[in-house]
Structure formats: structure tokens, C-alpha cells
């Protein structure tokens, strides 16, 4: 019996449940807090050609959309002739995976009746992969850790012992890193079990017809959504902090009928430090930003991504060439949606938000005992933190929320459990949201100290310190970020730095930009913000015109 359109739609919906269980398995079995607590991962199902059919809602667009490209590299490298039941493939190659060495991608071919029908794939960020550690100070990718080329982690069910030995010998956290790789393989296996059950239920032995239906349906819907955007060329630029000098990001958005091309010509050249971005990651976040605004209701798969044509000049900072350092490629990569949305705003006013903090304020902490003979262990701690998002045309920005990455903020309790640090403060940063008719989201203030017997070094990878998030349509900029000790001593926003015993590190995360004229914000909303501690009394007066009687002055 040939499946009908309704059958295909039902199976499509079921596939979402399959890949969501795949992602949930990874979260439940992962060793790293970045996966278990923050959800820094992706999971998806691909057909035998390497086209993404379905992705888990849990996860990040940088992982998911980059993985949509990377599976095709696995298929080409391993070849169908060398693919067998029980195989598990692996890589963390930044240019063939998801942009930096800390992301490990695992791909498992799926067979039914001994015939290869597709792949399950997943990606997760591991806390340590060797080298300098997670930070921007490297000058070549070789310094940043162990690069695993596309190879087999397991062949016909047998794990490659030499590969495991090589990984263990090159990382600071061997049990944790290798454990995460096994978790990645296990989550693909869980997805396959659910898929096989679904195929048995619907009486199908191949995914090709279903894949064609999903991808073509999504492609047509996305082209139709693009066709509703007014034709034209829309340019936008943005200046961001960079490492040792500011980075100029530029995009030209060309829309012609149902075709859209985003070209990053005019963007700064590569950096000598690890803030460079492989083009696969730039495409991932450019597609995500555009799709959120233009076709948010179309499910994410190869069909819905293909209509967005993203190009960047080879050798610019958003299309870095080997062997450029790329460890913290997320810092600029997370700012790419702000650039493309700024251009799209000129075509679709009243649709996209103001600029936000955008780039995560991740911090990698290397805790070391003061006395090497004490027997106290070294610890690596990774903590994810988020500033405020930009205000939207109809709603205030979200506070302490990771957009565009979508990861969860890690809890203090989970962070303190894995390392000898104390988080003394973690609260919303009063007054950090940009003023506007719709207010920008607030950042956070976080204070961290080493416990007795320890000091720590931390890798700073922060942006929006010199160039805060800009408002839109008359809205004010959000507050800039700051990195300092609690005694006020300023620290660098990027690079490895020491926090001595007894000192506390303070991170003041940036806020999102406001949307619209602040004087148009309703008096009761200004008063409510003031009462909640979202804005200061001075802001209420100077930004919003709230007088001593609690009224807006004309």
C-alpha cells in the first residue's frame, strides 16, 4: 500500500517524537554539565543522502543547522560501500562539523532488512578536548585541542580501542569526555529503536518517499514565505568588540521573488585569535535568524534551510580558513542573527526585535589547588550565562535568556557540584535593559570565588562590552557588559586570567536594546518596572519622564 499525504503527515509528526526522545536520552546519559544542564546539543534524523528530515526541538540552532551540512561530509568520507550495521562515525573537525573542536558529532547509519536507509546524528559540547582549553587565546587550531577526523568510533559494533586511548591521553577529563562520546552513540541507538518501531507500525521499509515529502513540502512553504517579503536589496552593518580590535560585520540581503541571498561581503578579515567563525556556523545562525522572522512555522529540515543562500568571502572572520583558531566561534556567530535581522527590518518593519546581548557569556574555569602536594584534584568547570534579549515589536525583551543559541542557563547548584567554586551572587542586573516603548531584557550580575585551598584561572569570552546592543525605532541601547573584580579592578573581556585566593570575579552581563520611543511606554508599566527593580529611579525620570507624582511628563 502506498502511503497517502495524510499518512506522510502523521509519520512526519511521529518523527519529531522520535528525535526528541533521541535528544532526551543524550541529556539523561551525558557526563558534561554543558549537555546535561544547559542542553548544548543537537539530534536529528537524516535520509541515506544525508538530508536532514527531522530535528529535535531540544538543542541549539548552531549545532542543528551546522549538523545538517556535516552529515553529508560523513557520507562522502566513509562511502556507502564501507558502511555496515553496527558502525558509529565521529568527528569534531570544525570545518566538517559544527565550528569548533569542543563539539563532537556522532553519526550512526540505520539499516532495515540489511539495507542502509538513513542516519541518526547528534552533537554535544564537551567540557574539555585538550589543548589550551575552551578560550580565545590560540593562534592556530592546532593549539586548541585534539582534532578527530571523520572516522569510525565503532566498526560493526566494535569500539576502536586505539581511538579511545588517543582521546583519553589528550584531554584533562578523560572519563568525562569519553563518557560523553558513549552517550552520543547511545542516543542515536535510542532514536533508531523508536524509528524501527514506527516503520513496523506503518508497514514501510524505506525512508525515501517520506523524506521527499518532508523536504519538498518544507521547501515550497519556505519559498512561499520568502515571496511575501518585498523585493529589493537591504544592507546592514554592526560593530562588535572582537579580541584585540573591533570587528565590522556587514550583510547585504537580496530578495527576488522567492529567492533570498545574504552576502557578508565587507566583513572584517580573520583574527589572529580564536574568535574566527567557520562558514558552516555562520550559515547556521544566518539561516536561523532569517527563518525565525520569515518562516517560523515551517519545521526545520533540509527543505526549509536550502532556500536561504548564505555566502561570505573566504578568509573573512565569518568564513575562516584552516588552520585559523576558532575555539570561541560562538561569540561572533551568535551575533550573526542581529546583523541579518537588522537588514530584514528594512524590508519588514515591525517584525524583528532590537539587538540583544546575543553571545553567551560562557566562562571556563580551571580550578587549581594552592598546594600541589595537597592531593586536591584539578577541576575544569564550564558555566553558561546569558544576558538580555532585544525588545520585540509588541513585547518586552526577555531577561537572562539565551537567544539565539537557545541553551538553558546552568544552575548554581550543578555548577558548584562539579568544581571547587562558590557563586556568591547571581541576580538580574537592575537598569541593564534598553529603554523603549518596549523595554530590552535585563542581563545578570554574577560573582564567583574559589573555595578554600584553591585558586582559579578563567577564560573570558565575552562581547558587548565596548559595543552594547542597539535599540530599534527610537529605543535606547542596552547596558554594556563589564568584567571586573568585586573591588572594582577591571579585567579583560577575552583571554585567560587569574583570580587569586580571596578575590571574587564579577561579571555584569549586557542587556538588550529597547524598541520604540521610551516616552510612549505606558505610565503603569514604567511604575511596575521601577517597583520590580528592573529600572532605577533615575532611569524612570530621565529615560521615561516619570515625575515625582508617578506620571509621564508631556
Mean pLDDT by groups of 10 residues along the chain of 554 residues: 81 95 94 89 96 92 94 93 96 97 98 97 95 96 98 97 98 96 97 97 96 97 98 98 96 97 98 98 97 96 97 97 98 98 97 97 95 92 95 97 92 91 97 98 98 96 98 98 98 97 97 97 94 95 81 59
- Residue ranges covered by each domain of the chain: 5-219, 353-554
Q: Do residues 33 and 418 make contact, with C-beta atoms less than 8 angstroms apart? A: yes
CA dihedral (186, 191, 196, 199) in degrees, to 10, reads: -170
Whole-number Å distance between alpha carbons of 328 and 324: 12
- From the CA atom positions of the chain, what is the Rg in Å? 24
Whole-number Å distance between alpha carbons of 184 and 77: 20
- pLDDT score of 547: 75
Please choose, from the candidates 252, 306, 323, 277, the residue with its C-alpha nearest in 3D space to the C-alpha of residue 65: 306
Q: Do residues 102 and 60 make contact, with C-beta atoms less than 8 angstroms apart? A: no
Whole-number Å distance between alpha carbons of 435 and 514: 5
Q: How many helices (H) and strands (E) does the chain have?
A: 13, 19
Please choose, from the candidates 237, 312, 247, 241, the residue with its C-alpha nearest in 3D space to the C-alpha of residue 280: 312
- pLDDT score of 546: 82
The DSSP output letter for 394 is: S
Q: Do residues 330 and 34 make contact, with C-beta atoms less than 8 angstroms apart? A: no
Whole-number Å distance between alpha carbons of 449 and 456: 8
Q: Do residues 32 and 124 make contact, with C-beta atoms less than 8 angstroms apart? A: yes
- pLDDT score of 185: 97
Q: Do residues 337 and 286 make contact, with C-beta atoms less than 8 angstroms apart? A: yes
Peptide bond into 274 cis (omega under 30): no
**Contacts of range 529-537, beta carbons closer than 8 Å, 24 or more positions apart:** 529/439, 533/428, 533/430, 534/399, 534/428, 534/430, 534/431, 534/433, 534/439, 534/442, 535/430, 535/431, 535/433, 535/435, 535/439, 536/430, 536/431
- pLDDT score of 552: 59
Helix H or strand E segment including 11 = helix 5-29
Whole-number Å distance between alpha carbons of 329 and 331: 5
Helix, strand, or coil here: 417?
helix
Please choose, from the candidates 534, 505, 512, the residue with its C-alpha nearest in 3D space to the C-alpha of residue 425: 505
Please choose, from the candidates 7, 453, 522, 449, the residue with its C-alpha nearest in 3D space to the C-alpha of residue 214: 7
Where in 303-453 does DSSP place strands (E)? 308-311, 363-369, 379-383, 421-428, 444-450
Amino acid at each position: 500500500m502506498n502511503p497517502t499525504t495524510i499518512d506522510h503527515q502523521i509519520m512526519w509528526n511521529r518523527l519529531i517524537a522520535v528525535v526528541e526522545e533521541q535528544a532526551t536520552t543524550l541529556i539523561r546519559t551525558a557526563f558534561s554539565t554543558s549537555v546535561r544542564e544547559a542542553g548544548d546539543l543537537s539530534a536529528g534524523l537524516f535520509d541515506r543522502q544525508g538530508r536532514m528530515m527531522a530535528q529535535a526541538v531540544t538543542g541549539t540552532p548552531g549545532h542543528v543547522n551546522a549538523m545538517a551540512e556535516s552529515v553529508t561530509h560523513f557520507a562522502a568520507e566513509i562511502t556507502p560501500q564501507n558502511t555496515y550495521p553496527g558502525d558509529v562515525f565521529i568527528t569534531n573537525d570544525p570545518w566538517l562539523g559544527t565550528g569548533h573542536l569542543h563539539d563532537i558529532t556522532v553519526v550512526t547509519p540505520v539499516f532495515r532488512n540489511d539495507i542502509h536507509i538513513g542516519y541518526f546524528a547528534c552533537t554535544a559540547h564537551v567540557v574539555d578536548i585538550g589543548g589550551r582549553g575552551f578560550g580565545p587565546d590560540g593562534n592556530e587550531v592546532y593549539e586548541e585541542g585534539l582534532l578527530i577526523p571523520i572516522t569510525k568510533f565503532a566498526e560493526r559494533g566494535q569500539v576502536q580501542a586505539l581511538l579511545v586511548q588517543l582521546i583519553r591521553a589528550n584531554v584533562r577529563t578523560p572519563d568525562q569526555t569519553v563518557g560523553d562520546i558513549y552517550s552520543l552513540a547511545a542516543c542515536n541507538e535510542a532514536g533508531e529503536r523508536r524509528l524501527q518501531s514506527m516503520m513496523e507500525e506503518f508497514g514501510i521499509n524505506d525512508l525515501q518517499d517520506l523524506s521527499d515529502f518532508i523536504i519538498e513540502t518544507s521547501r515550497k512553504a519556505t519559498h512561499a514565505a520568502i515571496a511575501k517579503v518585498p523585493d529589493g536589496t537591504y544592507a546592514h552593518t554592526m560593530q562588535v568588540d572582537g579580541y584585540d580590535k573591533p570587528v565590522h560585520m556587514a550583510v547585504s540581503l537580496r530578495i527576488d521573488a522567492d529567492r533570498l541571498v545574504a552576502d557578508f561581503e565587507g566583513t572584517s578579515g580573520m583574527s589572529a585569535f580564536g574568535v574566527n567563525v567557520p562558514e558552516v556556523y555562520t550559515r547556521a545562525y544566518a539561516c536561523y535568524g532569517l527563518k525565525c522572522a520569515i518562516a517560523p512555522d515551517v519545521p526545520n529540515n533540509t527543505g526549509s534551510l536550502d532556500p536561504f543562500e548564505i555566502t561570505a568571502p573566504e578568509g573573512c572572520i565569518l568564513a575562516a580558513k584552516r588552520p585559523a583558531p576558532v575555539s570561541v566561534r560562538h561569540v561572533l556567530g551568535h551575533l550573526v542573527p542581529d546583523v541579518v535581522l537588522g537588514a530584514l527590518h528594512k524590508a519588514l518593519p515591525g517584525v524583528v526585535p532590537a539587538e540583544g546581548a546575543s553571545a553567551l557569556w560562557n566562562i571556563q574555569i580551571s580550578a587549581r589547588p594552592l598546594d600541589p602536594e595537597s592531593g586536591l584534584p584539578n577541576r575544569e568547570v564550564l558555566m553558561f550565562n546569558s544576558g538580555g534579549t532585544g525588545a520585540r515589536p509588541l513585547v518586552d525583551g526577555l531577561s537572562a535568556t539565551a537567544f539565539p543559541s537557545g541553551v538553558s542557563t546552568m544552575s548554581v547548584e550543578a555548577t558548584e557540584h562539579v568544581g571547587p567554586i562558590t557563586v556568591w551572587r547571581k541576580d538580574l542586573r537592575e537598569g541593564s535593559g534598553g529603554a523603549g516603548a518596549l523595554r530590552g531584557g535585563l542581563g545578570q550580575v554574577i560573582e564567583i570565588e574559589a573555595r578554600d585551598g584553591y585558586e582559579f584561572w578563567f577564560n573570558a569570552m565575552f562581547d558587548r562590552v565596548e559595543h552594547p546592543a542597539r535599540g530599534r525605532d527610537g529605543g535606547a541601547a542596552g547596558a554594556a557588559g563589564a568584567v571586573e573584580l568585586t573591588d572594582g579592578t577591571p579585567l579583560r573581556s577575552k583571554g585567560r586570567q587569574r583570580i587569586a585566593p580571596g578575590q571574587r570575579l564579577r561579571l555584569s552581563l549586557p542587556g538588550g536594546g529597547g524598541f520604540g520611543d521610551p516616552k510612549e511606554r505606558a505610565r503603569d508599566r514604567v511604575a511596575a518596572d521601577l517597583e520590580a527593580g528592573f529600572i532605577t529611579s533615575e532611569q524612570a525620570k530621565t529615560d521615561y519622564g516619570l515625575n515625582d507624582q508617578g506620571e509621564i511628563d508631556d
